[in-house]
Amino acid sequence: MAKPKYEYWLTQEGLCLVAGWARDGLTDEQIARNMGVSRKTLCEWKGKYSGIGDALKKGKEVIDYAIENALVKKALSGDVTAMIFWLKNRRPDKWRDKPDGVKESGESTLKVLAELAVILRNPVPNRELPKAEEEGET
C-alpha cells in the first residue's frame, strides 16, 4: 500500500522545500502545484498538519520582512512612490485615496463640483482667465 502523499511533505526535506518556495515568493497555488496537489488540498493540509502551515508562514515571513525593510529604506531615502505606498497602507485613516465616509453617489459628486466651482470663481493671483470669464460671459 502506498503512503499518503502528505506524509512526504511532513518530513524535514518536504517542509524545507515548502518553506523555501514560500520564501521565494511563490503563491499558495504555485506551491500546491509544485507539491502535486490542488490549492484546496494545500489549504486543508495547512489546517490539519501544523508543520505545513508553519513552514509556509515562516518562509513567507522571511521575505515579507526583507521587502518591508527595502521599502522603508526607499521611502526614507526620498522615493516618493515608496512613501505614498507606505503611508496609504500604514496610515489609511489619513492617506487613503478615498477617505471613509465618502460614497460614490450623486450627492458627493455634486458637493465636489460645487467646491470646484467656488475655487474657479476665486482666481489665483497672476493666473490668466479665459476672455469670456474676464468679461463676465458664461
The sign of the torsion formed by the CA atoms of 65, 67, 68, 69 equals positive
pTM assigned to the model: 0.57
Give the phi and the psi of residue 53 in degrees, each rounded to 5.
-60, -40
Residue type, 68: E
Rounded distance, CA 138 to CA 133, Å?
7
pLDDT in tens, the chain (138 residues): 778 889 999 999 999 999 999 999 999 999 999 999 999 999 999 999 999 999 999 999 999 999 999 999 999 998 999 998 888 888 888 888 775 655 555 667 777 777 767 776 776 666 555 555 445 544
